[in-house]
Structure 1
């Protein structure tokens, strides 16, 4: 079907993720980490933005990527998002081994802004983007808040947008209700495949 709606795809993906056993989430998260390092020049980046996982939603465990970068002492620096009090926008703060974290209202860990440096969107070489589904043009389905589309629109023209999917479903042909404000991905990593758009 080439006109799946975001709502339909979101429901199916959430159900698919909920059905994954914890050990499968761990296996796929490790595979995603391997895909990123195999297919992208992580060590050449200056700044990488990544989301911190909401474990109860079976999101990809990005801590595997974070800890590998720290263990290998790569030069790339990391930043993670902080939802702002307006409830619709993000700011981005450096993530180091010593960064203090606090859970936001959704249970997502965030850097504590007063203890960290804010990084502007234009500084990022790459952004790892959470998603539930993606189509063949790189348009993604998220949770529906629009946080990432607003953020990605602020990034520089050379910034790579790389989706991470814990599901191995191939991209659908087309999301039927893409908005003009939706920002497409350049690639999507899955445990079993890498898709480029």
Structure 2
């Protein structure tokens, strides 16, 4: 029997595979992720959805497919996007509209301009879309290792849905060997070809 994988091992395996995807394949899979989300989740009934903005250099899922569909269909759900704080370990969230100015941070991630009047508390979110590199059979995710999303998810309401977006077509893997008490599991993971619920 294989030993349980570690986050570092999964990170080392998944990131090069994602970076090997062509821009056309990234776009195709991102469109599929959006379609899966709208098919399997009641997006139109949510009041607030937290959505990360993609780090294109690392071939993250292009969440603009989701954002523009919400705006085009004039759904009532309101969007919030994160901004990394000067402490380097936490996020603040600001309402995202078609008029929101965006700035690019030091990692190349677009962020909404900080506007205190547009800040949205995590307790308001009905669902959070979570970036990831891999996920295990219990919904424990592997990200880049900064812990930003574990801290954010811990501030949400118990009924908030945590939904990972996985650019790779992998089914959830074996239980991770190095889960920490501060790690917050997902409720579901959306892949290009389907959805897994935990």
> SS of the counterpart of 1:144?
coil
Q: Does 1:151 align with 2:138?
A: no
1:129 and 2:130 correspond: yes
Aligned pairs for 1:1-197 (under 5 A) are 1=2, 3-114=4-115, 117-197=118-198
3-state SS, counterpart of residue 113 of structure 1:
coil
- Does the CA contact (< 8 Å) of 1:80 and 1:93 recur in 2? yes
- Rounded to whole Å, the distance in 1 between the matches of 2:185 and 2:28 is 27
Report how far residue 193 of structure 1 moved: 1.6
**Contact 2:30–2:62, Cα closer than 8 Å, also in 1:** yes
Report deviation, 1:78. 0.1
Q: Deviations over 1:104-124 (max 9, x none)?
A: 110100000137600000000
CA-CA distance at 1:169 after TM superposition: 1.1
C-alpha contact 1:125 1:158 (8 A) present in aligned 2: yes
Cα separation, 1, equivalents of 2:93 and 2:116: 13
Shift of residue 173 of structure 1?
1.3
Q: Which runs of 5+ in 1 are unaligned?
A: none
How far off is 1:99 after superposition? 0.1
CA distance in 2, matches of 1:18, 1:76: 32
1:157, CA displacement in angstroms?
0.7
Taking only aligned residues, the RMSD between alpha carbons, in angstroms, comes to 0.9
Q: Tell me the TM-score normalized by structure 1.
A: 0.98
Cα distance in 2, alignment partners of residues 116 and 13 from structure 1: 38
